[in-house]
Structure 1
Amino acid sequence: MATNTRKSVALVTGGGSGIGRATAVRFAELGYSCVVADIDEQSAKETLGMLQTPGIAVQVDVTMATSVEAMVTAAVQRFGRIDCAFNGAGTEGSYAKIADHPEEEFDRVMGVNAKGVWLCLKYEIAQMLQQEPVVSDPARWADKPDVCRFRGVRGSIVNASSQAGLVGHPYNSPYCASKWAVLGITETAAVEYAKDGIRVNAVCPVVTATPMLDRIKAKLPPHLRGQDYTKFFPVGRIAAPEEIAEAVCWLCSDACPFTTGEHLKIAGGM
């Protein structure tokens, strides 16, 4: 079992904007080398330019197995392993009641948000299974009882779900379905690979100040446009992407070695 004497490596999908970009930036601030992946390669390169640590930008379509596999291969060819991954790529879809929703929109949103997470897990986990477990600070755990001792991890993964994966949202059935699916996929992967030293968790943020929110506002039914989102949250504001990024990086860190199969709601008191 190795000790961590080198720079850890983080892979972020959806890294070209919003929560993904903020997460890549935060990983880099914490000293991680970063693989910034996005379907928009130019936006991934823009994020890469914000980082102070080594990194690469990769174009990826998370709905295609060959593209996801190529992304993981590129990461390993450049850095040798993947210690952490944030599967943040997603789409908001369109807005209508179920009876009026186009079937192809359901398939598209599920393809990106649910199948995309599943494919990323498939290839990230396959890579992590080949890696030696790493203990970053053996002395910290040396005097703990055997049942609690931190034995090292092969990798830690966080998936992007949503508060819409916890409760229903009108006009948004494909998105809700996809984000509920992410939680099921997350818990299943966590159970399957816990003994292999791979942790899998999810974050469930609420409305966050990202380009996706701007697109959502433009797509809402007319009677819902212009609503004040801040009134829904006891803290009196919506989330900043950097606040979600902090939670992702914490879940990926050695601060919570016993945490797997969990989802963290980030909802400003809602």
Structure 2
Amino acid sequence: MATGTRKPVALVTGGGSGIGRATAVRFAELGYSCVVADIDEQSVKETLGMLQTPGIAVQVDVTMATSVEAMVTAAVQRFGRIDCAFNGAGIEGTPARIADHQEEEYDRVMGVNAKGVWLCLKYEIAQMLQQEPVVSDPARWADKPDVCRFRGQRGSIVNDSSRSGLGPMPYSSAYCASKWAILGITETAAAEYAKDGIRVNAVCPALTATSMLSRLKEKLPADFMEKLDAMSPVGRVAAPQEVAEAVCWLCSDACPFTTGEHLKIAGGI
């Protein structure tokens, strides 16, 4: 989305580790200035040190409106606008079957994963609505029919759902509920703001080699994890960088007609 010498700006939550960190690094490789946000202040500073372009680290609690609003304000004060956002902050919760699940744990997972994405969208979209649409390469679209001509966008947002948002995941009812909710929030936001030049999509990765997966392996029965591993036709879990590539593609102007979609990244599952 760069025009002339202006660097586009990407905001990444959950940027202190895993898919969020890989996405921030990839955005920087593509020339974006980055706002890297996470509740873990130290980890987000570590990510910032990996970037090849200007960036800032922001500590954020995505369950708190004041914190999310302050994050967006910090981004705009530093870079002037937000072209793209990846709402990647999330937690897995404590695995348990529904009858054994604690209500407080359900509320905690839904608060971070579902409400957190909703709050990020609320303040990211509010900012994007104030921005002028950007056309990164007008000549590229000049000879295309009106029906598909890319007239510019105010922003593009990708939310981190999960393969568990598309089907059941035993021991993870709260996590599944939150990731299904993200898909509903994504489609609704996309429909509400499509004509304003704001695209909203989601990615649905399967098991990915992150610290979250390491924690799950410690908490879930070993035979259950073995069954999950055996399900993948590819025969392995995803690398965070593979998900990051998909996020950056969805944020780019390579797919201006793509909004309200979810992209499954699951190795054939």
Instruction: Give yes or no for the alignment of 1:260 onto 2:228.
Output: no
1:71 shift after superposition: 0.2
More off after superposition, 210-219 vs 229-238: 229-238
What displacement does 1:236 show? 1.3
One-letter code of the match for 1:243? E
What does the per-residue CA deviation read over 1:68-102, in whole Å, with 9 as the maximum and x for residues that have no partner? Answer: 00000000000000000000000000111111100
Structure 1 match to 2:199: 199
Listed as ranges, the gaps of 5+ residues in structure 2 are: none
2:237 is matched with 238
CA distance in 1, matches of 2:140, 2:47: 34
Partner in structure 1 of residue 63 of structure 2: 63
The share of aligned pairs that are identical, in percent, is 84
The alpha-carbon deviation at position 255 of structure 1 amounts to 0.3
CA–CA distance in structure 1, aligned partners of residues 102 and 76 of structure 2: 39
Q: Secondary structure at the match of 2:52?
A: coil
Aligned to 1:248: 247
Secondary structure of 2:178's counterpart equals helix
For 1:82, the equivalent position in structure 2 comes to: 82
Contact (CA 8 Å) 1:96, 1:221: kept in 2 or not?
no
The offset of 1:4, in angstroms, is 1.9
Note closer, same or farther for the CA distance 1:143–1:215 as it changes in structure 2 (3 Å cut).
same
TM-score by length of 1: 0.97
Mapping for residues 1-270 of structure 1, pairs under 5 Å: 4-5=3-4, 6-221=6-221, 223-224=223-224, 227=226, 229-270=228-269
Give me the whole-angstrom Cα distance separating, in 1, the residues matched to 2:223 and 2:252. 43
| 1:147 maps to amino acid | V
1:121 Cα deviation from its structure 2 partner: 0.1
The alignment yields a C-alpha RMSD, in angstroms, of 1.3
CA offset digits 1:208-264 (Å, max 9, x no partner): 000010111112146535x26442211111100000000000000000000000000
Structure 1 stretches lacking a partner, 5+ long? none
**What amino acid maps onto 2:51 in structure 1?**
L
Deviations 1:33-83 (A, max 9, x none): 000000001100000000010000000000000000000000000000000
- Paired residues, number: 268
Find the aligned partners of 1:222 and 1:240 in 2 and give their Cα distance.
Answer: 21
Residue 260 of structure 1 aligns to a residue whose secondary structure is coil
TM-score by length of 2: 0.97
1:61/1:68 contact within 8 Å kept: yes
Q: Residues 3 and 214 (structure 1 numbering): CA distance in 2 closer, same or farther, change over 3 Å?
A: closer
In the alignment, the residues of structure 2 paired with residue 71 and residue 164 of structure 1 have an alpha-carbon distance, to the nearest angstrom, of 28
Which range is displaced more, 130-139 or 216-225?
216-225
